[in-house]
Structures are given as structure tokens and as C-alpha cells.
Amino acid sequence: MSRLWSPGIAALTPYVPGEQPKIVNLNKLNTNENPWGPSPRALEAIRSATSDALRLYPDPSAEQLRDTIARYHGLAREQVFVGNGSDEVLAFAFFALLRQSLPLLFPDITYSFYPVYCGLFGIQATRVPLTDAMEIRVEDYRQPCGAIIIANPNAPTGVGLPLGAIRTLLEDHPEQVVVVDEAYVDFGADSAVGLVNDYDNLLVVHTLSKSRSLAGLRVGFALGQAPLIDALERVKNSFNSYPLGRLAQAGAIAAFEDEEHFQRTRREIMETRAGLVERLTALGFQVLPSVANFVFARHRAQDGAKLAAGLRERGIIVRHFARPRIDQYLRITVGTQAQCVALTDALVTLLGA
């Protein structure tokens, strides 16, 4: 806090990202990074782009990348917005589309960046409780609101919402923007991308950080009808003309051109997840049904915070949220088979099983 700050800065509650420890050799299962690494083609494209051309600004409208994404998803360039990670894309969406006079609706348990953006942009929010089964019930959103945002699958629960429910949400609120944050959709949930041409109030947000293993490159994008994308462009061009550098644009384009790597690695994670769920269940955990690259689990007898601390002492980091309703849960990223076995082995010791 300083007398030199602008008004309101002291009152902000910034997002706290999962720890990025400096210690090597930790089994890092806390931030949903992908253990399989990016496509070699993406790395090669980034290396090729590392040249004297870096003295030049990148394409401010990232046309080639937007064309690549548009083609991949069967849309037009005007229906694609790209940004510096989907967190930035979400920030622009909050400012350009979700900042209305009526409150924004989102689940009580969801991605914790949503309330942070509300604080930053002065957006009033109403949190809609998940059911006891930790599911989104779209009927609960039938109330006056300015806009809606949900994550599908939800974070940190990993629970998916069927496409029919998303259709209902869109049809219940034709005058409101509905943002569906699909950061983890490639690990088994139903994507709403196919609905973009049917609903002018739908914006779908994706990231290359999870299923394409490029968290360090910072590329995310939004898909929607042209007027929604235009609003995002207006905000972006009032903030930073070049959120994506040359290396990010080159790497992201190449990542979409390696379908084989994408399919193989996401399948690997879904298979590893099934084995992890089985072993956690056998150890006395209650595991929510996950369609993400993480599982959300609580032990029937042992305290969540204590388990997280015990794992840490054994060099394994998972995420624990000291928040109402979820403080007994651990969010565990699906790593390699070996990482997951190391985790369950450590739990066997901790639980004295």
C-alpha cells in the first residue's frame, strides 16, 4: 500500500496462481500443466521464428493464426479472437461483454479468476451455488442478469455439462452473452463450438495451455459471431496492439497443424486419468467424475489440507483451496503414469493403508 497508488488499487483482490516452485525434481501436479510437452513441430516453428525478423513488430491482427484456428473449427476469421493466454481473452470479454448493469452470474465454485475480473472492472456478480453433486443446474440461472459465464468442464471440479444444458442456457437468455470457458474441453467434455453459428449470444473461450501443452507460450482464443469478436477487438486495440509476439503466433499455428500429437497426448491423459481415479477410489477417496486433465477428490476420513501438506513433504505438489465447500478436496493434475503412481504410493504411506 502506498499513498502514490491510484484509488481502488488497495481494494483489489488479485488472483493467486498455483505455485511454480524453484526446486527441481518435484512431482508437480498443481497447475494442470500437460506432462507430454508441445508438438515438436511447434518447437521447430518457434526456433525458425527466432531470427533477425524479431526486430519487426508482429502482425497486430494475427491473421494467419486466426485463419488456422478458423479452419480447424470450421468458422471464419471474423469469428476468432486471439490473446495472450485465455486469461487475457477472458479479461477482455469481462470488460467488453460481461460488464452490464444487471449482475453477472457464475457458479459459487468455479475458476477463481472470474471474481477477480469483477473486482477489477467493477462488475456486480451473483454466485449461483452448484448442486450437492457439484453440478451446474441451468434452471438455477433463470433470474434477471446481465450476462453469464461458466467453465465447461468446470474448474476446479472437472465436472462436465452436457451440450443440451448449454443450449437451454443460451435459449433462456437470448439477450445476454453466455461465455463458456472450455480450457479443459479436449479431455472429454462436449464442446459448444458447434453452436457458434446458431447463437449470437455465445462466446466460447479456448487455451493452448492445457491440451496443447503450451502454457509457457501464452496463447488463448475466443470463438463467437462477428459482433462479439468485434467488441473484443475494440478493447484489445485500446489496450495493446501486439499481445501475441512472433514466436507465439508461429508456435500456435504449428501446434494446430500437428493433429497426431494432439490426439495421441490427450488420449494418453484420459487413459491415465481412468487409472488414477480407480486407485484413488480404492484408497478411500471420493472422486468427482472428471472430464478434465485433473481430478477433484476428497478422502472419507483424512483432512484435505493435511494430506496436501504431507504430499508436499514427499515432493509432490497438488492444489488445495481453503474455501467453503471445497476445503476437504485436493485438485490433482493428471501427469504421466509414473507421476500418478508416485502420488498414490505417497498417499498409501500417508494414509497408513
Ligand X SMILES: *Cc1c(COP(=O)(O)O)cnc(C)c1O
Residues that bind ligand X (CB under 6 A): 85-87, 111, 151, 155, 181, 183, 207, 209, 215, 220
User: Smaller CB distance to ligand X: residue 266 or 299?
Assistant: 266
Min dist. Cβ of residue 215 to ligand X (A):
5
3-class secondary-structure state, position 29? coil
Tell me 95's DSSP state: I
Min dist. Cβ of residue 180 to ligand X (A):
11
User: Smaller CB distance to ligand X: residue 113 or 141?
Assistant: 113
User: Smaller CB distance to ligand X: residue 111 or 199?
Assistant: 111
Give the list of residues 6+ apart from residue 237 with CB closer than 8 angstroms, or none. 60
User: Smaller CB distance to ligand X: residue 207 or 213?
Assistant: 207
Min dist. Cβ of residue 258 to ligand X (A):
19
Min dist. Cβ of residue 40 to ligand X (A):
21
**Residue 77's CB: how many other CB atoms inside 10 A?**
18
The DSSP H or E segment spanning 120 is helix 113-121
User: Smaller CB distance to ligand X: residue 75 or 151?
Assistant: 151
Min dist. Cβ of residue 121 to ligand X (A):
17
Distance (Å) of CA 209 to CA 221, 228, 283: 11, 23, 31
3-class secondary-structure state, position 34? coil
Give the list of residues 6+ apart from residue 104 with CB closer than 8 angstroms, or none. 94, 98, 118, 123, 124, 125, 126, 145, 146, 147, 148, 149
Relative to beta strand 147-151, strand 177-181 is parallel
**Sheet with 80-83, side-by-side order of all strands:** 80-83, 220-224, 202-207, 177-181, 147-151, 104-107, 125-128
Min dist. Cβ of residue 93 to ligand X (A):
11
Min dist. Cβ of residue 53 to ligand X (A):
25
Helices (H), 36-111: 40-49, 63-73, 85-93
User: Smaller CB distance to ligand X: residue 146 or 220?
Assistant: 220
User: Smaller CB distance to ligand X: residue 107 or 283?
Assistant: 107
User: Smaller CB distance to ligand X: residue 58 or 85?
Assistant: 85
Min dist. Cβ of residue 271 to ligand X (A):
21
Distance (Å) of CA 28 to CA 177, 302, 332, 333: 36, 22, 9, 8
